[in-house]
Amino acid sequence: KPRTYSYSSLTSLKPNTMVNIYGIVKFFKLPFKTKGTDFMMIVTIVDESIIHTDQKLKCLLFSYEERCLPEMKIGSIIRFHRLRINLYNGELQGKSGKGFSWLVIDNQGDGSMITKASRVNYTFSDADRRKVARLFHIKQQKQELRCQNLVKLEQLQEGIYFDFLCQVVAVSVVELNVCYLLQVWDGTHSSCPLFTVEPEERNLTVKTDMELKKIAKDRLVDVCVYDDHFEKAATIKPGMFIKFFNLHCSKRKAPEFVNASTYEKLELVLHQGTSYGRGIKILSETDPEIDDLKKKLEELTKNVERTGTSVKRGPKGSHSKGVKKKKVETVSQNTLELTHFGPSCSQPSRDAKQGEILQ
């Protein structure tokens, strides 16, 4: 017989207790290394008992491995079992400890549900489904809790903040500890003109997967990553798949002597800070989130190989040819080769039967 759990509302929590709770993610900070041996993640949640107030519950989650902390987004439904509640600076705070486990639930565009859990085996009853359905309904009434949807390059619009899945083709330091350049693609063409950094003009050293670059061609775009995201970006290598959170498609300031009213170029920027979960996540080859992207890029790769265009050079003055004139370090990788980060802590599971209640 499956084990049953009772859940506490966030308004009923008391210090020095251990509870099981459900909540809606209002804020999170991607995992970061502590001064000790583990990783830490900060998550702030609300539920139906406090959603119309200024109250929230801040939770500190710890793990020896970054991959074992939950992946979520603003608006995700999250469940914690055996969360410790303590008082810190006069406010209640949740903290993971012995026996702690988590479950993250998101609904797909088709109304189906995808879950990720810290353990392979976990309970999820009809009562849980009803609870999740209520929370999804509640979050839709709050604009700030609606998930930022994944956006492709072909869907870009000026001013939007969005999450973005892509493969890295080239990397470069623009300014040490200040700005890092990632050249990426998602298999689509940008819907608007984007600013590109010219490595030869700045005398930058660019690490490039040349085979990928020949395939990506004019689908390649530049993303500038700033300040506190620099360190994470500097660990990224060409060929890796990554996910940007809260990436900004902003209008670039017009260069000197150019009419600002007619300057239309936009730029992709990951600003400093961690508001709205802003950051970068390196994805493993087993992550189901990149399945569709991998298929798209593999199809493009096969088309290029079939037509033989992968061995042709770009036209005179093209970006791909210009970069070779300066310091360029080529990375010896096979096209679409991924870096392996080990097995996931749990296998995501899909529940397509809940389409009616999760829409």
pLDDT tens-place string over residues 156-210: 999 999 999 999 999 999 999 999 999 999 999 999 989 998 887 788 899 999 9
pLDDT of residue 47: 95
**Domain end position, chosen among 145, 178, 205:** 145
The closest of 291, 274, 187 to 232, measured between CA atoms, is: 274
Residue 338 in domain: no
Residue 12 in domain: no
Residues 40 and 119 in one domain: yes
Digit-coded pLDDT (tens) for 233-257 = 999 999 999 999 999 999 887 666 5
pLDDT of residue 287: 80
**Domain end position, chosen among 121, 145, 169:** 145
The closest of 61, 58, 72 to 39, measured between CA atoms, is: 61
Question: What domain range includes position 61?
Answer: 17-145
pLDDT of residue 274: 84
Residue 3 in domain: no
pLDDT of residue 179: 95
**Domain end position, chosen among 129, 145, 161:** 145
Helix H or strand E encompassing 195: none
Residues 139 and 184 in one domain: no
pTM attached to this predicted model: 0.66
- The total of structural domains in the chain comes to 2
**Span 326-344, average pLDDT:** 34
Residues 136 and 173 in one domain: no
Q: What is the CATH number of the domain that holds 258?
A: 2.40.50.140
Residue 40 forms beta bridges with which residues? 32, 62
Digit-coded pLDDT (tens) for 204-236 = 899 999 999 999 999 999 999 999 999 999 999
φ, ψ dihedrals at 224, nearest 5°? -100, 125
